[in-house]
Amino acid sequence: MKENGRKQGAVSPCAACKLLRRRCAPDCVFAPYFPADEPQKFANVHRVFGASNVNKMLQELPMQQRGDAVSSMVYEANARIRDPVYGCVGAISSLQQQIDVLQTQLAVAQAEVVHLRMRHIPF
C-alpha cells in the first residue's frame, strides 16, 4: 500500500480532493459526483464557480438534489469555458430565437389552414 506514498487509509481521492490536494474524507461532499477518472469535470466547475462555492451550494441542498445540481453546474461551467462572454446564456438566447422562428412559422401554417378550409365551405 506504499505505492501511492500513503501508509494507511490509502483510499483513492476523488477528482476534487486530488485537484485541491487535500485528504478525501469518507464523507467528502464532492466524492459521489466527481470520480477520480473524470478530472476535467471538477476542474471546469472549480475554474468557474470555485471549489468553496460549489461545496457551499451542495451543502445547502438535500442529498437527493445534489446530483442534479452538480450536473447543471458542470453544464454551466463547460458552457462558460467554451464561451467566456455569454456562457450558457448564449444557449438561452439562441433557443429563444428558435422559438420566435417556430412561432412565426406556426402562425403562417395555421393561417393557411384556415384559408384553405374556408375554400371548402359550401356557399
User: Which residues of the chain form contacts with a second copy (CB under 8 A)?
Assistant: 47-50, 52-53, 57, 60-61, 65, 68-69, 71-73, 75-76, 80, 84-92, 95-96, 98-99, 102-103, 105-106, 109-110, 112-113, 116-117, 119-120
Considering the complex, state which of residue 36 and residue 81 has its C-beta at the smaller distance from a second copy. Answer: 81
- Quick check: 19 and 39 in contact, CB under 8 A? yes
Cα→Cα distances 49→40, 56, 70, 73, 76, Å: 14, 11, 11, 8, 9
Closest to a second copy by CB, 14 or 45: 45
CB of 120: closest distance to a second copy in angstroms? Answer: 7
Shortest distance (Å) from residue 71 CB to a second copy? 8
Amino acid identity, residue 22?
A: R
User: 54, 91, 84: which is closest to 70 by C-alpha?
Assistant: 54
What φ, ψ does residue 8 adopt, rounded to 5°?
-145, 165
Please state the closest distance from residue 76 (CB atom) to a second copy, in A: 6
Nearer to a second copy, 36 or 86 (CB): 86
CB of 16 to a second copy, least distance (A): 16
Nearer to a second copy, 1 or 116 (CB): 116
Give rounded-to-5 percent helix, strand, coil for the chain.
65, 0, 35
